[in-house]
Amino acid sequence: MKRKVNLVVLSDIHLGTFGCRADELLIYLNSIQPKKIILNGDIIDIWQFKKNCFPKTHLEIIKTLIEFSMTGTEITYITGNHDEMLRKLSTLEIGNIKLVDKLTLTLNGKKAWFFHGDVFDIFIQNAKWVAKLGSWGYDLLILGNRFLNFWLLKFGKEKYSLSKKIKNSVKKAVKCIDDFEKTATDLAIEKGYHYVICGHIHQPQISRKVNKKGTCLYLNSGDWVENLTALEFHNNRWKLFRYSDLGKKEIKTSDENCTSASIVINDKEA
C-alpha cells in the first residue's frame, strides 16, 4: 500500500547522466501517494545530457511524474543550474505542472522558501566553465565509484564513497557547504521565513540555524546520485527520507543535527 504524503521535495536527480540512480528513485516514487511534489532543480541534467545516458528508467521517472500530475498531484519544477535553460520558460503551466525559479508556500501557518541554491555558488556566477568541468569530473568519479563498489561487494566488503571522502577531507569543500547553509539561512531569517529548503550541494540536511536576528529551519533534499534522499512534509512534520530506510521501521529522533538516519522533526518543536 502506498504511503500518503502531503509534500515531497526532490532535487539533483540528474536525469541523462551516468550517475543518476533512476531505478531506486522509481521504487521510491511508486511507494508514495503525494498531494504535492516540488522538484527543486537539476532534475534533467542539460549540461551533461547524453542520449546513451537516458535509458528507459529515466523516461519512466518523467512518465511517473506526469501520471502523478494527471491524477491530481500538484507538481512544481524549480529550475537549477544544470537545467537553467528552462528558466527561459519560467511561469509556464501545463495542467498541474508549474515551472518556476523559486517558490514560497505556507505550511501549517509558517512561511517556507524553496529555491535550488546555485545563486549562492561563486563558480556558477563567475566561472561557469569551471563549474561544468567539475560537474563532468564528478560524474566520472561516481562512475568509477560504482566499479569500485561492485568489487568491494564481491569480496564481502562495505561500499565506499570516494566523493564523500574527498569532500570531508578537503577543508575548502567543507567550508563551502557551511558558507552555503549560512548564506541561505541568514537571508531566510532576514526575510521572515520559518523554513528554507534548498538543493544544489548534494548534502541532505535538516538543522536549526540561529543568528542575532532570529532562527529558521534549514532543509536540503540531498540528491539521487549518491545519497538517495528526499524531504517529506506530512502531518505538520518534516522528515528526511533515505532510500536505504525503505521498508524498514521508521526511525524517529528529536536531534535536528542528526543526519545518520531518517530524521523526523515535529513542526510544533521546529
What is residue 27's predicted lDDT score, i.e. its pLDDT? Answer: 96
What confidence category does residue 171 fall into, taking pLDDT thresholds of 50, 70 and 90? very low
Encode 137-160: b = buried (16+ Cβ within 10 Å), e = exposed: ebbebbeebeeebeeeeeeeeeee
List of E strands, the chain: 3-10, 32-40, 74-78, 93-94, 97-100, 103-107, 110-114, 195-198, 205-211, 214-220, 229-234, 237-242, 263-266
Closest by CA to 40, choosing from 126, 94, 101, is 101
For the cut 70, the answer to whether the pLDDT of residue 261 exceeds it is no
For the cut 70, the answer to whether the pLDDT of residue 91 exceeds it is yes
For the cut 80, the answer to whether the pLDDT of residue 143 exceeds it is no
- Higher per-residue confidence, 163 vs 129: 163
* Dihedral, 39, 45, 82, 162 alpha carbons, nearest 10: 100
**Distances in Å between the alpha carbon of 97 and those of 52, 118, 124?**
27, 22, 27
Domain with residue 57: its CATH number is: 3.60.21.10
* Grid cell at residue 55: 535509458
Highest mean pLDDT among 76-85, 95-104, 115-124: 95-104
- Higher per-residue confidence, 65 vs 226: 65
Query: Mean pLDDT over residues 224-240, rounded?
Result: 95
What confidence category does residue 18 fall into, taking pLDDT thresholds of 50, 70 and 90? confident
Query: Per residue in 32-73, pLDDT tens?
Result: 999 999 999 999 987 666 655 678 999 999 999 999 999 999
Query: Per residue in 123-137, pLDDT tens?
Result: 434 434 333 434 445
What confidence category does residue 266 fall into, taking pLDDT thresholds of 50, 70 and 90? low
For the cut 60, the answer to whether the pLDDT of residue 7 exceeds it is yes
What domain range includes position 127?
A: 3-266
Query: Mean pLDDT over residues 169-174, rounded?
Result: 47
Instruction: For Cα atoms 141, 56, 96, give the angle at the middle one, nearest 5 degrees.
Output: 100
What is residue 3's predicted lDDT score, i.e. its pLDDT? Answer: 95
Name 179's bridge partners: none
On the 0-12 / 13-18 / 19+ scale of CB atoms within 10 A, 175 is exposed
- Alpha helices (runs of H) in 159-253, residue ranges in sequence order: 162-169, 171-191
Max distance between CA atoms of the chain, in angstroms, equals: 53
For the chain, what is the domain count?
Answer: 1
